[in-house]
Amino acid sequence: MKNFYIFIAVLFIPWSFSLAKYDEFEDGDDIMEYDDNDFAEFEDVSEDTVTESPQRVITTEDDEEEATIELEGHDENQEDFDDTDTQEGDTESEPYDDEEFEGYEEKPDTSHSKNKDPITIVNVPAHLQNSWESYYMEILMVTGLLAYIMNYIIGKNKNNRLAHAWFNTHRELLESNFALVGDDGTSKEATSTGKLNQENEHIYNLWCSGRVCCEGMLIQLKFLKRQDLLNVLARMMRPASDQVQIKVTMNDEDMDTYVFAVGTRKALVRLQKEMQDLSEFCSDKPKSGAKYGLPDSLAILSEMGEVTEGMMDAKMIHFLTHYADKIDSVQFSDQFSGPKLMQEEGQLTKLPETKKTLLFTFNVPGSGNTSPKDMESLLPLMSMVIYSIDKAKKFRLNREGKQKADKNRARVEENFLKLTHVQRQEAAQSRREEKKRAEKERIMNEEDPEKQRRLEEAALRREQKKLEKKQMKMKQIKVKAM
């Protein structure tokens, strides 16, 4: 019961607040006075007549009292009359004579003004106004959208300019080395388009083919997403560079079997984790290349020492030291199959397809604030790529190296088969069960009882045969064991 009263009391509070608000707006006092006036005006007249006579009768004995009574009485009357005057017009201008009141002083004005309520100006809430200023959030939103669109146009154009700056510088070298420069795969015949293939606003492709030893070369200009404002803002926190990725697919007969990588330590650590071939064949951590005169920023991942020795010739070292700041990673691999595929359990029944590949990843200098000149400065690296293609063709492992390489590859394959043996067995088992179930269903669905019986008998005979075979096998094994 107590709680109920408290609850009611609590309910009264907001209700009373709401009432109080109304008071502000409606000047309740005035209204009440006005209401009183409706009836008071008649009372006042009688009061006046009543007070008149005592004033006349009593003279100076109770002057003060009279005066005060007079004043009070007059004040009230004056107020009421003033209110009626203001609210009813001039219908009752002077219902009383000035001479009737003696000792009347000019006081009512001050008290009058004191009692009158001050006019309060209430602020109209924003959502009731209808001026443009109140829509500032909307204007902000539209401005944001316009900024986004502007950034899209500017970013897109910048990427475009950078791509074409790169291509114009590299065109000559590419055209002298490759018969086919630029192909988007859509035309029927293999003809050079001589143009970059724009994949989207930040990736441009170029396919080059028709050179000795390599099947083809795919160049990808992977720019930063300058056309996306969110990306631009994110890059202010974490700077990143544009990248140029070059993937050369070698002919089978033009490259020996080895896995080798050189690049920044950070990149190699990441690649060793991500790439299928590097993780399987290069088990050691990235080693320093100081032995060959490489700067400290670069490290080496290799399948075996002989490969490193063979790869690090004078010209290669020259390239790597001079352009170390632009090199992210260089990977030569005969077992290249891309990054490790995240496959579910039980799906990995076959080794991924491999291709002999040379993969180069270069960082464009400028770390985001790239200019066309920065793109042009990558030209020597293309020479390095061409040199590497020829090098990969020339480099052959000696007998020992070849044996080791073959052993490595066999080992990897065996491991893979072991891993998947269980899965393959399960797959075979489930297939057999499926077949059995399908047969049983067929038998059940057979309406003709004769046919049913015949099918059942056939199935039984087959089962018996299988059992016999198994028993024979077991016997043979037992005999052999003995």
Partner 1 sequence: SPFPSGRYKPPATETNPALEDPTPDYMNLLGMVFSMCGLMLKLKWCAWIAVYCSFISFANSRSSEDTKQMMSSFMLSISAVVMSYLQTPQPMSPPW
> Which residues would be at the binding site for partner 1 (CB under 8 A)?
126-128, 134-138, 141, 144-145, 148-149, 152, 179-180, 183-185, 190, 197-201, 205, 207, 209-212, 215-216, 218, 220, 225, 227-230, 247, 249, 338-339, 341-342
Among candidate residues 323, 204, 213, 333, the one with its CA nearest the CA of residue 271: 333
Whichever of 194 and 338 has its CB closer to partner 1, that residue is 338
Whichever of 126 and 472 has its CB closer to partner 1, that residue is 126
Q: How far is the CB of 302 from partner 1 (least distance, A)?
A: 24
Q: How far is the CB of 245 from partner 1 (least distance, A)?
A: 9
What SS3 state is found at 400?
A: helix
Q: How far is the CB of 14 from partner 1 (least distance, A)?
A: 22
Q: How far apart are CA 395 and CA 389, in angstroms?
A: 10
What are the two backbone dihedrals, phi and then psi, of residue 354, each rounded to the nearest 5 degrees?
A: -115, 155
Sequence-ordered strand ranges (E) for 85-230:
180-181, 197-200, 203-209, 214-222
Q: How far is the CB of 171 from partner 1 (least distance, A)?
A: 17
Q: How far is the CB of 181 from partner 1 (least distance, A)?
A: 10
Q: How far is the CB of 348 from partner 1 (least distance, A)?
A: 14
Structure-token match 């076959």, residue found:
350
| Tokens read off for 386 | 């061409």
Whichever of 74 and 211 has its CB closer to partner 1, that residue is 211
| Tokens read off for 246 | 């070059």
Whichever of 82 and 201 has its CB closer to partner 1, that residue is 201
Q: How far is the CB of 244 from partner 1 (least distance, A)?
A: 14
Q: How far apart are CA 219 and CA 244, in angstroms?
A: 7
Q: What single letter denotes the amino acid at residue 379?
A: L
Q: How far apart are CA 278 and CA 258, in angstroms?
A: 11
Among candidate residues 354, 356, 331, 320, the one with its CA nearest the CA of residue 278: 331
Q: How far is the CB of 8 from partner 1 (least distance, A)?
A: 33
For residue 305, give Cα distances in angstroms to 235, 315, 465.
40, 19, 57
Q: How far is the CB of 338 from partner 1 (least distance, A)?
A: 5
Please enumerate in sequence order all residues whose Cβ is within 8 A of that of 194, keeping only pairs 6 or more positions apart, or say none. 171, 181, 182
Whichever of 82 and 184 has its CB closer to partner 1, that residue is 184
Structure-token match 């089978």, residue found:
252
Among candidate residues 280, 206, 281, the one with its CA nearest the CA of residue 248: 206
What are the two backbone dihedrals, phi and then psi, of residue 32, each rounded to the nearest 5 degrees?
A: -65, -40
Q: How far is the CB of 361 from partner 1 (least distance, A)?
A: 13
Q: How far is the CB of 111 from partner 1 (least distance, A)?
A: 45
Whichever of 213 and 459 has its CB closer to partner 1, that residue is 213
Sequence-ordered strand ranges (E) for 180-213:
180-181, 197-200, 203-209
Among candidate residues 322, 327, 289, 323, the one with its CA nearest the CA of residue 305: 289
Whichever of 57 and 342 has its CB closer to partner 1, that residue is 342
Whichever of 140 and 472 has its CB closer to partner 1, that residue is 140
Q: How far apart are CA 340 and CA 278, in angstroms?
A: 10
Whichever of 58 and 150 has its CB closer to partner 1, that residue is 150
Confirm if 298 and 262 have CB atoms less than 8 A apart: yes
What SS3 state is found at 165?
A: helix
Strand partners, 261: 301, 331
Whichever of 182 and 401 has its CB closer to partner 1, that residue is 182
Whichever of 40 and 275 has its CB closer to partner 1, that residue is 275
Taken as a whole, the chain contains a residue count of: 482
CA end-to-end span of the chain: 96
Confirm if 196 and 221 have CB atoms less than 8 A apart: yes
Whichever of 8 and 137 has its CB closer to partner 1, that residue is 137
Q: How far is the CB of 50 from partner 1 (least distance, A)?
A: 59
Among candidate residues 73, 67, 76, the one with its CA nearest the CA of residue 112: 76
